[in-house]
């Protein structure tokens, strides 16, 4: 018994090290390298590996960069708002179904998660384009006299495309949060004379807020780092902060400056997650 008790802690320690090795090597170390690179700078075509705050100073002293960052935050907030306005009613509708039907419908709504991101963007382009479904429907109903480019190659196109693509990430956590609400609480509310609206306001909505916050964070953070969608459907006006970072690593070949912009984005995403976690914790209390 003594030998077994002596071996068990050692085995657990080895298992712990092996489990932690993968995230440390694949996540922590690359991010740390990214942070380190952000303090280097370019001289000509060479990276000078000497610590400096010049990259961060360039970001905060240039209105073009931080205004683009603020505009991107505004766009992400709009994507999140649209996702919640559409996603919550959909999740609530699915939750109200009974039996297997709710899970069949849920599968249909989250099925886009299994599709290629590029395929989803091209699908949205085919819908929003000049000869797309949306234009054809508006012309057929008489709302437009001719197909319009209003829905493509502009900020509206980015907003619509991101909101649709990230919608399953909003629906799923809200639905799971609604699923966890005990049925006896709903029944107790009805027994006390509360109507459907009162029950929703006093019971369902407060208890589903953690999932709602999680869905909002998913939409916001995913939209914050997206540079493919603005490039594919935004056109010249779709220059978001993600595209700025991408251009520094690609066209400009200024990896240290691109790393510093990425660090700014990364820290703000962590801040958003921390605020969302704090709000969810307060709600549980």
pLDDT in tens, 151-185: 888 888 999 999 999 999 999 999 999 999 998 99
What pLDDT, on a 0 to 100 scale, did the predictor assign at position 280?
77
Does 151 map to a domain? Answer: yes
CA distance 75 to 151: 16
**Max CA separation in the chain (angstroms):** 86
The residues, ordered by sequence, that sit 6+ positions from 262 with a Cβ below 8 Å of its Cβ are 34, 38, 245
Torsion of CA 237, 238, 244, 250, to 10 degrees: -100
Look at residue 73 and tell me if it is in a domain. yes
Task: State the Cα–Cα distance between residues 67 and 183, nearest whole angstrom.
Answer: 48
Q: How far apart are CA 18 and CA 12, in angstroms?
A: 10
Tell how far CA 265 is from the center of its chain: 13
- For residue 78, the domain's CATH number is 1.10.3720.10
For residue 7, tell me if it sits in a domain.
no
The beta strands (E) that lie in 102-210 are given as none
Residue 6 lies in a domain: no
What whole-number distance in Å separates Cα of residue 268 and Cα of residue 275? 10
Number of domains comprising the chain: 1
37 domain-assigned: no
Find the domain containing 114 and state its range. Answer: 61-284
Is 2 within the bounds of a domain? no
Q: In this predicted model, what pLDDT tens digit does every residue of 65-96 receive, in sequence order?
A: 999 999 999 999 999 999 999 999 999 999 99
pLDDT at 14: 81
Q: Is 128 exposed, middle or buried (0-12, 13-18, 19+ CB in 10 A)?
A: buried
Strands of 13-82, DSSP E: 41-43, 46-48
Residue 1: the pLDDT is: 46
- Look up residue 151 and give its DSSP letter: G
State the pTM of this model: 0.87
Most confident of the ranges 90-94, 192-196, 237-241: 90-94
Q: Is residue 36 part of a domain?
A: no
pLDDT at 257: 94
In whole angstroms, what is the distance from residue 284 CA to residue 272 CA?
Answer: 19
Which tens digit of pLDDT belongs to each residue from 3-30? 444 557 767 778 778 888 888 888 888 8
The answer as to whether 102 is a domain residue is: yes
């Amino acid at each position: 018994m003594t030998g077994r008790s002596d071996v068990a802690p050692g085995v657990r320690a080895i298992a712990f090290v092996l489990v932690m090795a993968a995230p440390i090597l694949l996540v922590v170390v690359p991010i740390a390298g990214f942070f380190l690179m952000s303090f280097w700078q370019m001289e000509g075509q060479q990276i000078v590996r000497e610590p400096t705050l010049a990259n961060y100073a360039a970001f905060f002293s240039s209105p073009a960069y931080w205004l683009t960052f603020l505009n991107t935050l505004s766009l992400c907030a709009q994507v999140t708002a649209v996702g919640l306005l559409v996603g919550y009613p959909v999740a609530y509708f699915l939750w109200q179904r009974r039996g297997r039907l709710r899970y069949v419908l849920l599968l249909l709504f989250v099925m886009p998660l299994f599709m290629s991101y590029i395929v989803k963007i091209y699908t949205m382009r085919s819908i929003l384009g000049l000869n797309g479904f949306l234009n054809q429907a508006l012309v057929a109903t008489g709302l437009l006299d001719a197909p319009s480019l209003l829905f493509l190659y502009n900020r509206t196109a980015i907003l619509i495309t991101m909101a649709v693509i990230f919608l399953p990430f909003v629906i799923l956590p809200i639905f799971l949060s609604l699923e966890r609400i005990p049925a006896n609480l709903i029944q107790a509310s009805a027994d006390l004379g509360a109507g459907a609206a009162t029950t929703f306001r006093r019971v369902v909505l407060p208890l589903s807020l953690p999932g709602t916050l999680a869905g909002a964070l998913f939409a916001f953070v995913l939209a914050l780092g997206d540079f493919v969608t603005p490039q594919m459907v935004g056109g010249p006006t779709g220059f978001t902060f993600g595209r700025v970072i991408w251009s520094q690593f690609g066209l400009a070949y200024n990896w240290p400056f691109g790393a510093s912009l990425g660090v700014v984005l990364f820290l703000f995403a962590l801040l958003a997650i921390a605020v969302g976690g704090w709000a969810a914790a307060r709600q549980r209390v």
